[in-house]
Structure 1
Amino acid sequence: MKQITFYLDFISPYAYLAFEELPRSLEGLSYAVEYRPVLFAAFLKKHGQLGPAEIAPKRDWTYRQVLWNAHAHGIPMDLPAAHPFNPLGLLRLAVACGSDGRVNRYVAETVFRHAWRGGADAADPARLDALRAQLQPTRDPAGEEVKAELKANTDQAIARGLFGVPTVEVDGKLFWGFDALPMLREYLQGGEWFATDAWDQAARVPAGQTRRS
């Protein structure tokens, strides 16, 4: 049985799509998944990047593409009333429902669907209160222990080479994005390509030119 770690931030529509599609894309395989919330904004800060929704033309394309992908894969999806939203309340609530930075699939599913179904404001305080009442976290989402676990998840993910969400880690390999799920499946099935040097070769390509700011 393969151990899979699924890194997520509820702010990401691609993370939502990948979360919903993961069981179907890995159907028939032997695996166990742990779900770890992380703060995507910290990845952007670390690597000096803007998020997709912070670049106007990319923002429009992102929403069109995720809605099409949802349609194509039969995944219910509605854009929230405002995006990007502040995901900290959702992330901390999810972590407060779990232990050691991990959350179970039910919690992750409930929070994802809070954000990406129905078209409401994902960060609305009244809705967050209702979500908390539904999930009944065993710890205070605003407590220092919960904050520290979310930060530790994020720091450890960055140290492992993550730069975006969703990212799935298995056997030390990182598979980024909703569209990486078929690649992940092939790896878990023992695909021949992964027995070649191609994976490591990709990391050895020298940079021909570096853009300066």
Structure 2
Amino acid sequence: MKRLTFWLDFISPYAYLAFEQLPQALEGISHAVDYRPVLFAGLLKHHGQLGPAEIPGKRAWTYRQVLWQAHVHGIALQMPASHPFNPLGLLRLAHACGPNRHVCEALFRHVWVGGLEAADPARLQALQQQLAPARDPGGEDVKADLKAAGAQALAAGLFGVPTIAVDDKLFWGADALPMLRAYLQGDPWFATGWDAAAAATAVPVRPARG
């Protein structure tokens, strides 16, 4: 049985799409998934990057593409009333509950189904009552868990979400699910292609200056 770690942030529509498609991608494969919520903004800050929603043209394209992908795959998705938003309340609630698939599904659908304000305090309070976490989402132990998850993600080499880690490999993005499935099914390409691709891009190409 393969053990997978699914790194996610509820602010990411791509993480939601990957979450919804994961059971089909893993169908027929013996596996266990550890769901690991992490602050996407922390990864971006560490790598000196802007999020897709912080770049005007990319923001518009991202929203169009995720709505199209949801349409193609038959996934219910409506943009929340405000995006981006502060996801800390959702991330802490996940860690307070213990982030299994049931909990993550409730949190993702809170954000991406219905088109409401994801960070609305009243909605968050109602969601907390529904999930009945074993720990206080505002407790220092939960905050420490979320911070530790961020450190673990960076130590594992993450730069974005969703990322699924298995063995020594990271599969980034909802569109990487077919590649993940191929690896888990033993596609022979991975014996040489994975490392060869990385070696070919080991030295960054700097743009020419005229």
Shorter-chain TM-score bucket reads over 0.9
Letter in 2 for 1:128: L
Equivalent residue number for residue 112 of structure 1: 108
Equivalent residue number for residue 209 of structure 1: 206
Q: Measure the CA separation in 2 of the matches of 1:130 and 1:208.
A: 50
Q: Measure the CA separation in 1 of the matches of 2:205 and 2:126.
A: 53
Shift in Å, 1:208: 2.8
Q: Measure the CA separation in 2 of the matches of 1:202 and 1:84.
A: 33
Instruction: Within 5 Å, give how 1:24-173 maps onto structure 2.
Output: 24-98=24-98, 103-173=99-169
Aligned length: 206
Q: Measure the CA separation in 2 of the matches of 1:110 and 1:133.
A: 12
What secondary structure, in the 3-state scheme, does the structure 2 residue paired with 1:4 have? strand
Q: Measure the CA separation in 2 of the matches of 1:28 and 1:128.
A: 36
Equivalent residue number for residue 184 of structure 2: 188
Aligned-residue RMSD, C-alpha = 1.0
Q: Measure the CA separation in 1 of the matches of 2:142 and 2:167.
A: 27
Gaps of 5+ in 2: none
Gaps of 5+ in 1: none
User: Which of 175, 195, 199 in structure 2 is aligned with 1:200?
Assistant: 195
Q: Measure the CA separation in 2 of the matches of 1:195 and 1:40.
A: 31
Q: Measure the CA separation in 1 of the matches of 2:37 and 2:107.
A: 11
Q: Measure the CA separation in 2 of the matches of 1:62 and 1:128.
A: 25
Deviating beyond 4 angstroms after TM superposition, the runs of 4 or more aligned structure 1 residues are none
Task: Report whether the alignment pairs 1:175 with 2:181.
Answer: no
Q: Measure the CA separation in 2 of the matches of 1:28 and 1:152.
A: 33
Q: Measure the CA separation in 2 of the matches of 1:160 and 1:203.
A: 16
Q: Measure the CA separation in 2 of the matches of 1:172 and 1:118.
A: 37
TM-score by length of structure 1 reads 0.95
Shift in Å, 1:210: 6.9
Q: Measure the CA separation in 2 of the matches of 1:172 and 1:146.
A: 28
Q: Measure the CA separation in 2 of the matches of 1:109 and 1:11.
A: 13
Shift in Å, 1:71: 0.6
* Deviation readout 1:170-198 (Å, 9 max, x if unpaired): 001000000000000000000011122x2
Q: Measure the CA separation in 2 of the matches of 1:144 and 1:210.
A: 46
Shift in Å, 1:207: 1.9
Moved more, 113-122 or 200-209: 200-209
